[in-house]
Homo-oligomer: A and B are copies of this chain.
């Protein structure tokens, strides 16, 4: 196979439309159940239906949109089952990753830096920045374990969780999240695999309490 060029060509129009919609969905700007239309979006951004349609297909493949033939396309509701499933998978995987990190004793300075960023974002009430740093913190665990590809796979599963987090982060206490992160980091720095394991599991079980509350507050945003 010919060598793949490192020079990144400008992404295709369909790709750009997909990314734009993806971000809007994850951030909650397009609420679950919202109806979207190929022609309507195409007209608004000056494109034909085709690239928009292809973006819809990709979103449906990611579980973020539901295409009902001849009826319309809708922003998918947040699947409670998907969130619980992704949460369980994250707990199992990140638990193993933490044990690997505790054994490797690698450099963890990036995780320290993210903790500082999270404190600042908490003070500034910058939800988007807090979530972004939270992701980088967990990503750093996978990297420190020598398994960066694992995080890529988790990202795909996380999309439903991320939508929930954008909702819940505005409501729930972020300082508790920071404290849990610190406990995990200290256990990793000490090379204490059992403590790191327990810390990450406790941290990721936080969602088990947040999910029912958010589902009760906005029942029409969720589906079983």
Chain A residues close to B by CB (< 8 Å): 1, 9, 12, 33, 54, 57-58, 61-62, 69, 74, 77, 81-82, 84-86, 88-89, 91-93, 95-96, 147, 149-150, 152-154, 156-157, 223
Question: B150–A88 contact, CB under 8 A?
Answer: yes
Cβ A88 vs Cβ B58 within 8 A = no
Q: Contacting A81 at CB < 8 Å: which of B58, B77, B149?
A: B149
A-B contact pairs, 26 of them (CB 8 A): A1-B74, A1-B77, A9-B69, A12-B69, A54-B54, A57-B58, A61-B61, A82-B149, A84-B149, A85-B147, A85-B149, A85-B150, A85-B152, A88-B147, A88-B150, A89-B89, A89-B150, A89-B153, A89-B154, A91-B96, A92-B92, A92-B93, A92-B95, A92-B96, A93-B93, A95-B96
- How many copies of this chain does one complex carry? 2
The 6 closest A-B pairs by CB, nearest first: A92-B96, A85-B149, A92-B92, A81-B149, A92-B93, A61-B61
In the bound assembly, the distance between CA atoms of A93 and B91 in angstroms comes to 8
Q: Which residues of B contact A54 (CB under 8 A)?
A: 54, 57
Interface SS majority for chain A: helix
Beyond the given pairs A88-B96, A89-B93, 5 more chain A to chain B contacts, judged by CB atoms under 8 angstroms and listed by A's residue number, are: A54-B57, A57-B58, A89-B150, A91-B96, A93-B93
Closest chain B residue, CB of each to CB of A100: B88
Report the Cα distance A152→B82, complex, angstroms. Answer: 9
Kindly state the separation between the CA atoms of A32 and B85 in the bound complex, as whole angstroms: 31
CB neighbours of A74 from chain B (8 A)? 1
CB distance from A183 to the nearest CB of B (A): 21
Q: Are B1 and A85 in contact (CB under 8 A)?
A: no
Q: How far is the CA of A91 from the CA of B89 in the complex (A)?
A: 11
Neighbouring B residues of A9 by C-beta, 8 Å = 69
